[in-house]
Structure 1
C-alpha cells in the first residue's frame, strides 16, 4: 500500500507540473492549473501528501513562469501547502461544500494579504480577480474529479469494478 501511495503522489506531482504548464492569461501574470492535483491528493492520499504536492506544484509553476515574485514564491508555496492541508481535512469529514468555500475564499482573498503590505494596495487589488478565477478553476476541477477517483484510495471499489 505504501508503494501505491508513493506512485500516486508522483503521478499527482507530474499532473501539477502539467497543470503549471497550462497558462491562462490573467490581469497580472497568468492562471495555472497546478493546484487541482494537490487538492485531489489531499482527498485521496492524505493531507501531508496534498500539502507537499501543493508547495512543489506552486514552485514548479513559478519556475516555468520565470519567478516573477522572486523569493516570495516560497511564501506562496507555504500558503498553498497550508490551504490544501485544510481543504483535505475538511473535505474528508464530509463537508465538501465547506471545504470548497474555505479554500476558494482563503486562496483568493486571505493568501494574498501579505502582498498588500509588501507590494502595495495596487498590486493586491489587481491580483484578486486573477486569484479568484484561478482558485475557482482549480477547485472546480478537483471537486468534479475527486468523487470519480475515490477508487484510487484502495478501499472500496467503484460500481464499474464491482460489475467485473
Structure 2
C-alpha cells in the first residue's frame, strides 16, 4: 500500500468520524451517517479499503454514541465491513442499483437479525425504522457524491475508471 492510498483512506476514515457525529434519531444512539464514506472508499479503492473504513467508521460512531451495545459493536462493525465489501463487488460489475439495494436491505433488515436472538423481536422491530432511514441516507449520499468526486480522484489512486 502506498502513502497516497493510506492518506486517502485516512481522509475517508476522518469523514466517517464526522458522519458518526451526525446521528439519526433512534432507540440506540449509534445510527449515524458514518457509512457513506465507506461506500465511497469501496467504489474508488476497492472492497478491502471500503471494509476497513466501514468497520472503523462504525466503531467510531458507536464510541461517539457511548457504546450502548458494548462489545456487540464489534459484530456490527464486522457486518458493516461485509456489507460494504458486497456493495463494492456489485458496484464494480456495473450493478449500481443492486449494490445500493443490497446494502440498504442488508444494513436495515439483515444485519440486526442477531439481536432477535440476543435480545428479542421487539428490539429488532424498534431498531429497523431508524436503520432503514440511516441506510437510505448513507446510500443516497454515496450515490450523489460518486460522480462528483470521480473527476477529483481520477488523478489519484483508485481501481480503474468509475462510471459515475
The TM-score with structure 1 as length reference comes to: 0.90
Unmatched runs of 5 consecutive residues or more in structure 2: none
CA distance in 2, matches of 1:107, 1:44: 21
Deviations along 1:30-69, one digit per CA (max 9) or x if unpaired, are: 5311000000000001110000010000001001100000
CA displacement at 1:26 relative to structure 2:
2.5
Q: 2:138 corresponds to which residue?
A: 138
RMSD (CA atoms): 1.9
Kindly indicate whether the alpha-carbon contact (under 8 Å) linking 1:30 and 1:130 is maintained by their aligned counterparts in 2: no
2:67–2:73 Cα contact (<8 Å) kept: yes
Is 1:84 aligned to 2:81, yes or no?
no
How far the C-alpha of 1:102 sits from its partner, in A, is 0.5
Q: State the distance in 1 between where 2:122 and 2:70 align.
A: 19
Distance 1:153 1:77, change over 3 A: farther
Structure-2 residue corresponding to 1:29 = 29
Larger radius of gyration: 1
Distance 1:140 1:127, change over 3 A: same
Which position in structure 2 is the counterpart of 1:128?
128
Aligned counterparts of 2:161 and 2:140: Cα–Cα separation in 1:
24
Question: Contact 1:40/1:146 (CA < 8 Å) preserved in 2?
Answer: yes
- Structure 1 segments unaligned to the other structure (5+ residues): 158-164
TM-score, structure 2 normalization:
0.90
**Number of residue equivalences:** 158
**Partner residue of 1:160?**
none
